[in-house]
Structure 1
Amino acid sequence: MFNLEKIVRPNIQQLKAYSSARDEFKGIAEVYLDANENPFGTLNRYPDPQQMAIKKRLSEIKGVNENQIFIGNGSDEVIDLAFRIFCNPSKDKALTFIPSYGMYNVSAAINNVELIELALNQDFQINTDVLERYLEDENLKLIFICSPNNPTGNCFKNETIEFILSKFKGIVIIDEAYIDFSTKESFINQLKNYPNLIISQTFSKAWGLAGVRVGVAYANQEIIDLYNKVKPPYNISALNQEAVLNKLDNLAQFEIEKNIILNEKEKLEKRLEELELVKKVYPSDANFILIEVTSANELYAQLVARKIITRNRSNLVRNCIRITVGSEKENKRLIETLQQLSITSSEVENSL
């Protein structure tokens, strides 16, 4: 049975959170003389440290309580704070499945926590038979599951994730950075069934706010309380909060832009499959497409020379390049360039 007290680091349990001026007074006043702010300007006041306006709107959209929501400085803060809250440095462990998002490894290293990396099978799915023996390790505190996965683009099977949630006595973090592009439902609907579940989402992808750096964690209130205890007092600026609220107040435009991206992805997949230099187009539940080519290093360099930047992922998946779905104009230029490279490649082969 899951016991949160056994998972949390003792020093975090005993930690008394910093109480900022805006934590102690939450109302509206006419004169503010409590936070040592400059009285002049338009951005002279500290932002809401708990981002209550964003939480209220997300609560309405996602169907979860406001006290089940944490707002982070990007999803990276959600990841980093999980290590700080649950893992004792040089003692505890975390686990993830590779290839996947590189920040799990980086955050583990920064926090001096061993990260176990289990390889996905040939279909980019989790092998539960290999995983099961790790679940009984009392020092294993965190499991990261990126679904839809980056860079492979696929979602993991629901039954596999539910197996992990029910068997593991530690914290399971499902990174749903790309879930808005998928036909699969978010695991947010499962929060009531699994007290050890944290869902991580972001405004950087489908919401088009990568420059704002705002991520979200959804979990039960006890876990969210721990996040709020450990986070910096004012981790989200007033400008960034305003940008998020503006997006949340325009859901119709969000849906329009998301559908444009999905339509462009479908067209891009078809065009990529027609190219001789593309060996395989992997199925994608995200806003990017992973393709296998003859030489990823060579193709990446050729595209860079033509001022088109993709992501060479051959260090994670052999001879694979990850292509973000861009605008219609950008996608057209990419395909035309790849067609030219295909013709050039064929001419070279025929001359040999």
Structure 2
Amino acid sequence: MIEDRIKQLIKPAILDAQAYHVPDSNDLIKLDAMENPYLWPEEIKKAWSDYMQQAELNRYPDASASVLREKLSSALNIPDNTTMMFGNGSDELIQIIMMALNKSSNVIMAPEPSFVMYRLLSSLLELDYIGMPLNDDFSLNLSAMLKSIEENQPAVIFLAWPNNPTGNLFDQSDIETIIKATSGLVVIDEAYHVFAQKSMMSCLEKYKNVLLMRTLSKLGLAGLRLGILVGASEWISEFEKLRLPYNIGTLNQLSANFIIDNISLLEQQAGQIRNDRSVVFNALSDIKGVEVWPSEANFILFKVTEKGAEHVHAELLKHKILIKKLHGAHPSLENCLRVTIGTKEENSAFLSELNKIMK
């Protein structure tokens, strides 16, 4: 029987897991995945198409992505004493860091609720994961984290900054206290940096046990799947041994090279999203039965206790609006939903329907 053979050959952790579900979004107003909602202007599309003519698709990609590396070093102000590694999205970088760990150093720690991939990849790789509950205001419970660090000696601590799905920035002094308290790595995940306009890149010069992640996905290139890991060369050189060759394709490299040269477009769009975030936050705050939290990202977390998240999510779907239902993901997210900031028209449609549902 094939089922018996599968059970014999596949790891129990894989057999027990569920594949990551991405909901169908065809014909929907898509406000669930923290994407930039804006298309490129036609003149930029034409310039990009012309630029891509240089692609030599009969050859393997530049394995070191040398041109992209040079452009990003300048664009991101990478410290001189650090180096970069590229991944097929941040997910691959997280996976590589975890895969590199010694069997005797198999504890991963992260606040919760936070980015689901920290827990998911830990489970798939059969590592011990410790989720540290946040305070009621979603700040770090520093004393509890320090106690757990001392007791469990985590190999890696992941800190999303701003945090997903709560949208807040953890106190920087708390983060530095954690960095000083651990003998392991601290990975600061700045996926939403462009919306917070704050960075802890300077920590790379102060602490050798800090790595910093960025991505081009939230800026407006989610389709490229390009994650960036920055840190001391001693760390990066070890992780490079696990990176599969040619993981960043030629078309991805060229597209990233092109948009970095035209980065002002995406920065302008990010500025519009930041402005619209304030509008959506204020509008949500005015809806009876909605509790909303301030955000430094391109999404907003809110709670609908009276109507219930299941009901609100389902009603929005009936009107072709897809947001993220977080109810059930963590005790502190009971009856919570997360909405991505879209275009003005998408935001208006969402707020209009939510107002009707909440009456």
Of residues 319, 337, 342, the one that matches 1:306 is 319
Task: Tell me the residue number matched to 1:230.
Answer: 242
Of residues 328, 331, 334, the one that matches 1:318 is 334
* Aligned-pair CA distance for 1:332: 1.0
* Aligned-pair CA distance for 1:339: 2.2
Task: Tell me the residue number matched to 1:204.
Answer: 217
AA partner of residue 229 (structure 1): K
AA partner of residue 143 (structure 1): I
* Aligned-pair CA distance for 1:227: 1.9
- With normalisation by structure 2, the TM-score equals 0.80
**Distance across 2 between alignment mates of 1:250 and 1:137:** 48
State whether structure 2 residue 352 is matched by structure 1 residue 336: yes
Alignment of 1:185-334 (within 5 A): 185-206=198-219, 208-278=220-290, 280-294=291-305, 295-315=308-328, 316=330, 317-334=333-350
**Distance across 2 between alignment mates of 1:288 and 1:242:** 29
* 1:66–1:160 distance in 2 versus 1, CA, 3 Å: closer
State whether structure 2 residue 141 is matched by structure 1 residue 144: no
**Distance across 1 between alignment mates of 2:193 and 2:56:** 36
Q: Secondary structure at the match of 1:186?
A: coil
**Distance across 2 between alignment mates of 1:117 and 1:271:** 33
State whether structure 2 residue 123 is matched by structure 1 residue 109: yes
* Aligned-pair CA distance for 1:139: 5.2
**Distance across 1 between alignment mates of 2:84 and 2:161:** 19
Determine if contact 2:82/2:204 at 8 Å carries over to the other structure: no
Task: Tell me the residue number matched to 2:39.
Answer: none
Determine if contact 2:153/2:182 at 8 Å carries over to the other structure: no
AA partner of residue 47 (structure 1): P
* 1:324–1:248 distance in 2 versus 1, CA, 3 Å: same
**What count of residue pairs does the alignment treat as equivalent?**
299
**Distance across 1 between alignment mates of 2:300 and 2:106:** 35
Q: What are the superposed Cα offsets for residues 65-92 of structure 1, whole Å, 9 maximum, x if unpaired?
A: 4961111110001100111112428x62
**Distance across 1 between alignment mates of 2:81 and 2:347:** 39
**Distance across 1 between alignment mates of 2:258 and 2:211:** 26
Alignment of 1:61-210 (within 5 A): 61-64=75-78, 65=80, 68-88=83-103, 92-137=106-151, 140-183=154-197, 185-206=198-219, 208-210=220-222
- With normalisation by structure 1, the TM-score equals 0.82
* Aligned-pair CA distance for 1:140: 2.1
Q: What are the superposed Cα offsets for residues 49-72 of structure 1, whole Å, 9 maximum, x if unpaired?
A: 111111101111222249611111
Q: Secondary structure at the match of 2:281?
A: helix
Task: Tell me the residue number matched to 1:14.
Answer: none
Determine if contact 2:106/2:127 at 8 Å carries over to the other structure: yes
% identical aligned pairs: 33
Structure 2 unaligned segments of length 5 or more: list them: 1-54
**Distance across 2 between alignment mates of 1:267 and 1:133:** 40
Q: Secondary structure at the match of 1:297?
A: helix
Q: What are the superposed Cα offsets for residues 109-141 of structure 1, whole Å, 9 maximum, x if unpaired?
A: 111101011100111111121112222357520
Determine if contact 1:170/1:196 at 8 Å carries over to the other structure: yes
Determine if contact 2:189/2:212 at 8 Å carries over to the other structure: yes
- Which one has the largest radius of gyration? 1
**Distance across 1 between alignment mates of 2:237 and 2:204:** 15
Q: CA RMSD in A?
A: 1.6
**Distance across 1 between alignment mates of 2:133 and 2:302:** 19
Determine if contact 1:312/1:320 at 8 Å carries over to the other structure: yes
Q: What are the superposed Cα offsets for residues 190-220 of structure 1, whole Å, 9 maximum, x if unpaired?
A: 10111000101111102x1111111001101
Determine if contact 1:203/1:209 at 8 Å carries over to the other structure: yes
Q: What are the superposed Cα offsets for residues 127-170 of structure 1, whole Å, 9 maximum, x if unpaired?
A: 12111222235752011111100110001000110001111000
Determine if contact 1:300/1:310 at 8 Å carries over to the other structure: yes
